[in-house]
Amino acid sequence: MSSVSDTLSQISSSLSSSASESGSYTPESSPPTSPAPIPDVKHTFGQDCTSKQGEIKLPTPFFPPSLVRNGTLAAACTIPRVLPQELELPPVPLEAPCDEVDPQDVATPDSWINRDPRLVRLTGKHPFNSEAKLKDLYSAGFLTPSNLFFVRNHGAVPRIDYETASQWTVEIHGLCNNPTIFTLHDLRSKFQVVTVPVTLVCAGNRRKEQNIVQKSLGFSWGAAGVSTALFTGVYLSDVLDYVTPAKIAKHVIFEGCDKLPNGPYGTSQLLSWARDKRKGMLLSWAMNGVPLEPDHGFPLRLVVPSQIGGRSVKWLSHIELSKYESQHHLHFHDNKVLPMPVDADKARAENDWWYDPRYIIRDLNVNSAIASPDHEEILETADKADSDVFATGGYAYAGGGRRVTRVEISCDDGSTWSLADIQYPEDAYRDVAFEDDIYGTLDLTSTDTCLCWCFWTFNIPYGTLKGSRSISVRCMDESLALQPRDMYWNATGMMNNWWFRVCIHHIEGGRLQFEHPTMAGTQPGGWMQRLKDESMNPAKPSFAGPTDLVSENRNEVKKSEVIPMVKDGVQRKISIEEFEKHKSTENPWFVVNGEVYDGTGFLKDHPGGPESITLVAGEDATEDFMAIHSTDAKKQLVDYHIGTLAGKLETGTDQAQEYGMNHEFLHPKKWKKVVLGGIQAVSKDSKVYHFTFGSNDQALGLPTGQHVYVRLRRKVKHEDSAEVVEGELVQRAYTPLSRPEDKGFIDMLVKIYYPNEKFPQGGRMTLGFAELEIGDHVEIKGPIGHFTWLGHGRASLHGAEQRVKEIAMICAGSGVTPILQVLRAVLNDSASEDEKTRVWVLDINRHLDDILCKEELDGLAVQHRERFQLRYSLTGMPAPADWDQSLGRIDDAMLKYLPSPIAESLTCICGPLSMEQSTKGEE
C-alpha cells in the first residue's frame, strides 16, 4: 500500500498528461447551456455533453479532495463544478476540504485522514463517529458540505491509495445468470450515470435522549445524525438487470472492505426493493460533484435513500444475489428496534432477539427537530411589541420515499398546534433535466418520490413566547404517520422520534433563553439531564406549569446541583510562579477548574495512594479529577482549597511532536496514547494486551518494581457487537508484562473480572479492557510506585535505599506481574556473589489453569534453583491427583515455606486485601 505522499506524487505527475482527456475543470468554469426545449422544465447540457449522455468521466483527480494537496491544478480540482445558475438549484457546497489531521486522530489507525475539528465526536477518538453541531448543519442549507456530513464508522477506515482506487472493482455473483466483475469504467460506460439528491440518516439519530432516560446499547447521537448530498453513480436496478438474477434469488447482499473483529460490514436488501428504480438505490463514487471522502466510502459505496444509513454500505467490494438475507454479524446485531420490555441487559443475554426478522429496520420513520433557536441562545424581548414575531425553523424527513405533508408547532406543550411553512428544496430538481460529463444525468422530472429532508419555518409572536415555557415540533407524512408525544425506548436506542421540545427560560430583563433536550455525545447540557439529575422522569416532561419545566414525578424542577469545591472566604490569588514551586512530592499543589489545592495533607489518606496526588503536582488536574471522582470526593476537596490561579498553565508539547524527542516513552505528568495491536488469551479469564507506541525505538522507561497508570473510556455494547456507547472514564495502576529492554510496545496481563452473582457489575476497569478492540487506544502515564529494584542487591522503598539479602514475594492471579518484574531483575542481576539476593515466591490461585506465567516461573526456578524457591497453592477443589504443592488459602503452615525475617530482608505482597491481612495475621 502506498503512502499518502507517494499517492499525491502519483496524482500530481498524472494531472498534466490526463487533464485534457479526463474532463478537468476549474471552479470558475461554468458549463454552457442550451435553450430549454421542454415547457416548464430547465433542460441543460453541461460541457462535452452534446447528446443525451456523452462519455461520463470521473472527477479528476479521482481521489478524496481532502488528500489532494500538491499542485495548482490538483488544488483547483478539489472544488466541485458549479451547476448553472439558471437552473435555480440549491447551490453545491464549495467549502474547501479539510487539509490537516485533527490532533485527536494522531496515533489512531485513521491518522492519515483529514477531518473537520468542528465535528462533535461521539465515540472518543476512535473509531470515528461524529455529527455537526445542529446550528452548523442547519446553516449549511439543503446540501451538506462533506466536512460537516455525519460519519458512522465501525472501525478503522480502509486506506485506499490512488492506484488501488483507479483499478477498483465490485464483484457481483451468486444466484444470477451473468455474474460480473465491474470496474468503475465499466459502470460508467455500461449504465446511465445519474446524480440524485439524497438525505442519509443514522438510525441512531437523537439517541442521546433515549440514553438519558435509560442507557441503551448505542452511543449518544444528537439531532444532527442526518445530512444531504448530491450522489453521482449508477442505479443499482440497472446493474441488477444486467446480471439477471435467478428467480429463486430473494435478497441482495452488500459487503464493504473494512476489517472488523467479526468480519467486514455487510447487510442486505430485498431483491424486489433493490430492482425498483423508484427507490433510487445507487452505486456511487462522487458526492457533491467530487470523489467521496475516505469517511464516506471512497472509492465506491452503496447509497440507499429513505432507509436508515446502516443500509448504505461504504467501501463496496462485493454484491451477492442470494435466497437468504445477509449473514454478516452486524446485519443481525445492529439496526433493530427490539420490543420495549427487552432492556439492554436482556438483549445482551438473549441472542434470539437479534435474529427475529420482525425487528429489522428498513425505512426511516417521520422525524423533525428545532434548529433555530439554538441551544442556550438568548432572545431580547424588552423592546419588542407582542405582535412582533420571532422566526423559528428546523428540518423534517420521512422514509420510504414519502413526503412530509405537515409540520406543526405548539407553544403550550401540545394543547394546541399551528401549521408551519414547509420548504421542499428537493422539488427544484423536478423542474430540471441536466446533462453533464461529471454529474451525468440530473433529472427528477418523472418522479414524485421524496428522497430528501425538507425545512420548516414558523413565526411566533413575541407575546406568545413571553407566556410560553416551551416550543414543540411534530410532523406527519403522506401515509399519516405522526411523531408521537411519548418516547418508545428500546435497547438499541434507534428511531427515536418523539416530539422535539425546546425549553424556554425566562431570565432577568425580560430575556428568554432556550434549552434543547440534549447535546450530542459527551457534551453536557439539556433539559432532559436536568430532570434526571433531580430524580425526575425525563421521558415524561411537562411544560404547562406557571414557572418552569416539571415532570410527572414532581411539581417543580431545579437546576442540577452545583457541588461547591471552593472554601468560603478564600480570596488568595496564586501566581503561576508561586504555583510551579510546588511540583514536589512532599508539597504537591494542583489545579481543578482554575482553583488551587494543596494535597499535602491528604497524601497518606488518599485511597489510591499518594502517587494519585503527586502525579498531578504542578498540573491542571481538572480532566482526571472530574472524570473519576465521586460527589463526596468533590465535596471533600473544599478542605484543601487555598486560592485561585492567576494565569493559565502551559499545556505542554503536543504528543505528536513528542514522538522521537525522548528516549523513553513514559512521562510522569502527561497521559500518552498507546494503540492496541493484539490480544492473546492466556487463560479462561486472563488476556495479554499488546499496545504499540508511536515510535519503534522508544523504551517504555519504567524502573523495575514501578507501575504505570492506565486510563480508558468504558464502552457498552451488546454481545460481540461493535455498537458502542461512551461510558465512564476509569483508571488504575498496572505493572506491564513486557520487559524493560523492549521497545515500541507495552504488554499488559489483565485478569477480567466478569459480572457474577456476588459482583453483578464485575470489575469496572478490567471489563473496560474486555471491551477493547484492535485499533482502540488507552492512555498511560508514569512511573508511579514506592518500591524500585536498583540492582546489585539494593532496593529503594519510600525513597530510602537499602541492602536486600532476602526477598519473599506473595502473589495471586494477575498480581504475578510486579512479582515477575522484580524476580527477573533479581535473578539476572550482574551482582557479585556477596551482593546476590535470595528469592522466595508463593503464588496462590484457585485452579491449576489459573496460574499465570507458570512456564516462565518454573523455568526460572530450575535455572536458579540455588537461590530461588517457588511454591504454589490451589484453593479450588478438587486439586489434580498428582498435585504436590500446597492447598488452601495462606496460613501459618504455608508461611513456613518463606524465610524468617532478618534485618536485610523484604516481604512483598500483590493480591487481594484478604490475602494481605492473612499474611499479616490481621484476620
CB neighbour list of residue 511: distance below 8 Å, 6 or more residues apart: 378, 379, 380, 381, 382
Question: Residue 68, exposed/middle/buried by CB under 10 A (0-12, 13-18, 19+)?
Answer: buried
* Cα(366)–Cα(363) distance, integer angstroms: 10
Q: Peptide bond before 61: cis, by omega within 30 degrees of 0?
A: yes
Q: Peptide bond before 127: cis, by omega within 30 degrees of 0?
A: yes
- How many residues can be counted in the chain? 923
Instruction: Find the angle CA(901)-CA(906)-CA(912) to the nearest 5 degrees.
Output: 105
* Cα(884)–Cα(870) distance, integer angstroms: 13
Is 53 in a helix, a strand, or coil? coil
The answer to whether the CB of 845 falls within 8 A of the CB of 851 is: yes
**DSSP, res 56:** -
- Choosing from 334, 436, 620, 624, the catalytic residue is 334
Question: Looking at this protein, which amino acid is placed at residue 115?
Answer: R
User: What dihedral do alpha carbons 508, 510, 516, 521 form, nearest 10°?
Assistant: -40
Is 555 in a helix, a strand, or coil? coil
The answer to whether the CB of 622 falls within 8 A of the CB of 729 is: no
Q: What is the chain's Cα-based Rg?
A: 32
* Closest by CA position to 119, among listed 295, 247, 275, 277: 295
Measure Cα distances from 493 to 219, 279, 281, 818 in Å.
9, 26, 26, 43
The DSSP element (H or E) to which 474 belongs, if any, is strand 470-477
CB neighbour list of residue 704: distance below 8 Å, 6 or more residues apart: 740, 788, 789, 821, 822, 824, 825
Question: Residue 668, exposed/middle/buried by CB under 10 A (0-12, 13-18, 19+)?
Answer: middle
Cell of 273: 426493493
* Cα(315)–Cα(302) distance, integer angstroms: 8
> Where does 281-349 have alpha helices with state H?
329-332, 344-349
CB neighbour list of residue 465: distance below 8 Å, 6 or more residues apart: 379, 381, 390, 411, 504, 512
- Choosing from 49, 98, 202, 452, the catalytic residue is 202
Question: Looking at this protein, which amino acid is placed at residue 881?
Answer: A
The DSSP element (H or E) to which 274 belongs, if any, is helix 271-274
Q: What are phi and psi of 756, to 5 degrees?
A: -145, -175
* Closest by CA position to 802, among listed 783, 786, 821: 786
Q: What are phi and psi of 595, to 5 degrees?
A: -100, 145
Q: What are phi and psi of 207, to 5 degrees?
A: -65, -30
Catalytic annotation present for 202: yes
- Choosing from 335, 367, 490, 496, the catalytic residue is 335
Measured distance between the N- and C-terminal CA atoms of the chain, rounded to whole angstroms: 62
Question: Residue 680, exposed/middle/buried by CB under 10 A (0-12, 13-18, 19+)?
Answer: exposed
Catalytic annotation present for 335: yes
> Catalytic positions, please?
202, 334-335
